[in-house]
Structure 1
Amino acid sequence: MTRSGKLWYVLSGSRGGARRAAMLEQLAEEPRNANQLATDLDIDYSTVRHHLDILVKHELAEIRTEEYGATYVLSTETERNWSEVEKIIQAVS
Structure 2
Amino acid sequence: MKKVLWWLFASRGGVNRAKIIDKLHTRPYNAHQLADELKLDYTTIRHHLKVLEENNVVTSTGEKYNIMYFLSDKMEENYNVFKEIWESLRNK
Same fold (TM over 0.5): yes
Q: Return the offset for 1:67.
A: 3.8
Which of the residues 37, 40, 64 maps onto 1:40? 37
Equivalenced residues, count: 90
- Residue identity in the other structure for 1:32: Y
- Residue identity in the other structure for 2:88: A
Give the Cα separation in 1 of the matches to 2:58 and 2:9. 13
Name the counterpart of 2:6.
8
Q: CA RMSD in A?
A: 0.9
Q: Return the offset for 1:65.
A: 2.0
Which of the residues 14, 18, 24 maps onto 1:17? 14
Which of the residues 67, 72, 82 maps onto 2:69? 72
Name the counterpart of 2:47.
50
Give the Cα separation in 1 of the matches to 2:7 and 2:19. 15
Give the Cα separation in 1 of the matches to 2:65 and 2:35. 16
Q: Return the offset for 1:34.
A: 0.3
SS of aligned partner of 2:59: strand
Tell me the TM-score normalized by structure 2.
Answer: 0.93
Tell me the TM-score normalized by structure 1.
Answer: 0.92
Q: Return the offset for 1:4.
A: 0.8
Consecutive unaligned residues of structure 2, counting only runs of 5 or more, are: none
